[in-house]
Structure 1
Amino acid sequence: MLRGTYNHGCAPKITIVQALDVLIITSFNDSDPRISIVQAMDVPIITSFNGSDPRISIVQAMDVPIITSFNGSDPRISIVQVPDAL
C-alpha cells in the first residue's frame, strides 16, 4: 500500500511518503521551491520539476520513473504514483 503523510511537526515544505515499507523523505530547497532532494534507501535522488508547472515533478529512481503530482489547492498534499504499486 502506498500512503503519504504530511509531517505537521516540521516545515510545510517537508513531505514523508511511505511506499512498500520503504521510507522516502522528500525535502524541498527553501531557496528554490522547484528543486527537491529525495532520499531513498540511503541514495540521494535529484527531483527535477517541470518549469512550466511547479506542481508537477518527475523523479527517476533506479530506472523507474516516479511521478509526484502535488495538489494545487493544498501544497502539503501530494500524490505519488509508483508503477505496479497503486
Structure 2
Amino acid sequence: MRLARFMVEVMGVDQARERMIGLVRAAASGPEAARLVRDLVTRELFTPLAEAIGAPHAPLQTTLIGAHVVGLTFARTSSAWSPWPRPRRT
C-alpha cells in the first residue's frame, strides 16, 4: 500500500511524472539506453536506498520495488488507462 501511495503522490507532481516517463521511454528505446538508465537508477536511487534500509536482502528489495515502479509507469503511459490520479489530501 505504501508503494501505491508513493506512486500516486510522485506521479501527481508534473515534473516528477515527466522525469519518470522520460526514463522509462529512454530505457525502452534500445539495449544500450536500457543499460544506461539501469546504471543511473542503480547508482542514484537503488544503492543509496538499499544502504538506508540496511536489511540483508535490501538490494533485492529495491530492485523489486524498481520493477514495480517501472511496470506501473509503463502501463499507465503506454495504454489507454486513465491519467494518473491526483493524491488526495487527508
Looking at secondary structure, tell me which structure has more helix per residue: 2
TM-score by length of 2: 0.28
Looking at secondary structure, tell me which structure has more strand per residue: 1
Which structure has the larger Rg over C-alpha atoms?
A: 2
TM-score by length of 1: 0.29
Greater length-normalized contact order (CA 8 Å, ≥ 6 residues apart): 2
